[in-house]
Amino acid sequence: MLHHTLKISLVAAACGLAFATTANAEEVTTERHQAEITTVAEGLNFPWGLAFLPNGDALITEKSGTLRRVGTDGVISTPISGVPEVVYKSQGGLLDVALDPNFAENEYVYLSYSEADPAGGPGNSTAVARGKLVGNNLQEVEVIFRGAPKYESGAHFGSRLVFSPEGYLFVTLGDRYSAMDDAQTLDNHHGKVVRIWPDGSVPEDNPFVGQDDALPEIWSYGHRNVQGAAIHPDTGKLWTVEHGPKGGDEINIPEAGANYGWPVATYGVDYDGSIISDKTHVEGTVQPHYYWVPSIATSNMIFYTGSEFPAWQGDLLVGALKGSQVARLDLEGDRVMHEETLFAEAISGRIRDIEQGPDGAIYVITDDRNGQFIRISNADD
């Protein structure tokens, strides 16, 4: 049921850059809407994180360590200066980007990334830095969070950055793969969601503050590799989505201090088919809110609230690396009533981030050497 309305428009070489802007649009029939998929820009090098500036421009990270601004016209800027040095290795590099809720006043931009050991050791961990975005420069950059311990691995860094309505900053982390057992202990940041203030200080009411052998930043634990997070628009609660191993991608609604089971309870098996745990239910751990078997390889997710797609308002849209899909979960309250697979045939590429634009359209970036920045807009009659 795909209508191909291919329109190739002018390729503009702007600002002396080699990047091209394109506008080929494809129309897709979904259950509730016709959607038009337009490539706004391409030539991004493994883009990972996407955030919109108040003027409609996008900030996009590239995993290799560059942060760029992409205009609504598709023009991609030169790298923004001042970005911290990253460990660009396997899944590591420059990861998410988020704007301060008071960006208009304070100009703070937050970046998550894999950071080398400042002491010179072989390990690395996910860190979060912030700086003030002035023109194309990030200024007064400071590291506000450093995952502990530094660990030698190129895998499972998380990480997504979201602000709660109260102004807390949630940082979602990974278990570093070979350190998966650490997800069950509280003396490290592996497999945790952490909650900090935007300046990096620890909220006094965090669940493990004052507990011996527990890191005070921890909000919830027993996670595997949490690469998606969003705040529910009505309840204000954090929702996360994490990669399972082979099977067992999970949506959770992390509560303070709760244990989400990894790796002692899981609906998945290891990539080679071997059993990590034969248990899906373990006393003291919380069941997922929703899960996928087989995995769709979840990346980020949003609660859609725009006017562009009225029938999708309140739905959870989950980007996936597998099948070039967005899973639309139709929610009634917190309950999933229905899942629709969107765009699987119309987008080619692993969907690495999904965001709602200031215009109400949906934007995704694809995880590729020639990564695309794609706009999804309404094409109803």
| Residue appearing with tokens 């996670």 | 223
Which positions are catalytic? 156
| Residue appearing with tokens 């850059």 | 17
Q: State the minimum distance, in angstroms, from the CB of residue 378 to a copy of itself.
A: 16
Of 3-11, 34-42, 50-58, 332-340, the segment contacting a copy of itself by CB under 8 A is: 332-340
- 234 makes contact with a copy of itself (CB under 8 A): no
Give the residue from 68, 173, 163, 177 showing the smallest Cα distance to 114: 173
- 282 makes contact with a copy of itself (CB under 8 A): no
Kindly tell me which residue out of 27, 57, 117, 340 binds a copy of itself, with binding defined by CB under 8 A: 340
CB 113 within 8 A of CB 158: no
SS3 category, 310: helix
CB 116 within 8 A of CB 146: no
CB 333 within 8 A of CB 54: no
- 181 makes contact with a copy of itself (CB under 8 A): no
Kindly tell me which residue out of 292, 309, 363, 373 binds a copy of itself, with binding defined by CB under 8 A: 292
Residues in CB range of 243: below 8 A, 6 or more apart: 224, 225, 227, 249, 295, 297, 298
Category of 93 on φ-ψ map: left (φ > 0), alpha (ψ -120 to 50) or beta: left
As given in the structure block, the two tokens for residue 295 are 């995995």
Q: Identify which of residues 247 and 360 has a Cβ nearer to a copy of itself in the complex.
A: 247
CA atoms within 13 A on the CB side of 255: 7
Kindly tell me which residue out of 15, 134, 256, 293 binds a copy of itself, with binding defined by CB under 8 A: 293
Q: Identify which of residues 151 and 262 has a Cβ nearer to a copy of itself in the complex.
A: 262
Q: Identify which of residues 135 and 273 has a Cβ nearer to a copy of itself in the complex.
A: 273
- 3 makes contact with a copy of itself (CB under 8 A): no
- 190 makes contact with a copy of itself (CB under 8 A): no
- 257 makes contact with a copy of itself (CB under 8 A): no
Count of residues near a copy of itself by CB under 8 A: 22
Q: Which sign does the torsion angle of CA 229, 235, 236, 237 carry?
A: negative
Kindly tell me which residue out of 338, 345, 348, 370 binds a copy of itself, with binding defined by CB under 8 A: 338
Q: Identify which of residues 21 and 259 has a Cβ nearer to a copy of itself in the complex.
A: 259
- 275 makes contact with a copy of itself (CB under 8 A): no
Task: Give contact residues for a copy of itself (rule: CB under 8 A).
Answer: 31-32, 247, 267, 280, 287-293, 311, 330, 332, 334-340
